[in-house]
Amino acid sequence: MKKRVAIIAANGGLFDAYKVFNIATAAAATEAEVAIFFTFEGLNLIHKEAYQQLPLPEGKEQIQQGFAQANVPSIPELVGMAQEMGVKFIACQMTMDVMGLTKEHFVDGIDVGGAVTFLDFAKDADITLTF
């Protein structure tokens, strides 16, 4: 049986995005079944506009250059790669309602669900991570 990896993305900075999508794509490349639950600021990571320019932590703006030099893929590239490899994205319905967001604000191919949708996937997970 496939390994299952359940990830909660609850923060919306550039560093958070790399942590989430690097682990998710690496897991998917290792034949794992992966789902990410995006909640609160984590929704930025799949928001059509926001995810193209996620903020760096205050005082760390110079690291932007380091990303370019290390030839690290952009977040939209990683998101596309993750989806192509079958990583499931679940956006938190409650947070979307609170923030006045609809499915159209996000990248294509996401699911919208509540906590139980994620918990149902996570209950049989081999690895559960929160970022």
Partner 1 sequence: MKADLLVDAKGLACPLPIVRTKKGMDTLQSGQVLEIHVTDKGAKNDLSAWAKSAGHEMIDMVEEGDVLKFWIRKA
Residues at the contact surface with partner 1, assessed by CB under 8 A:
22, 25-26, 29-31, 70-73, 81, 85
Task: Give the C-alpha separation, 101 to 71, whole Å.
Answer: 33
Task: Give the C-alpha separation, 84 to 24, whole Å.
Answer: 12
Task: Give the C-alpha separation, 87 to 35, whole Å.
Answer: 6
Closest CA to 119 of 40, 39, 41, 11: 39
Taking the complex as a whole, the smallest distance from the CB of residue 82 to partner 1 amounts, in Å, to: 9
Taking the complex as a whole, the smallest distance from the CB of residue 25 to partner 1 amounts, in Å, to: 5
- Whose Cβ is closer to partner 1: residue 68's or residue 116's? 68
Taking the complex as a whole, the smallest distance from the CB of residue 41 to partner 1 amounts, in Å, to: 23
CB atoms within 10 A of CB 97: 10
- Whose Cβ is closer to partner 1: residue 31's or residue 97's? 31
Taking the complex as a whole, the smallest distance from the CB of residue 55 to partner 1 amounts, in Å, to: 21
- Whose Cβ is closer to partner 1: residue 70's or residue 116's? 70
- Whose Cβ is closer to partner 1: residue 26's or residue 98's? 26
At 52, the amino acid letter reads Q
Task: Give the C-alpha separation, 47 to 28, whole Å.
Answer: 21
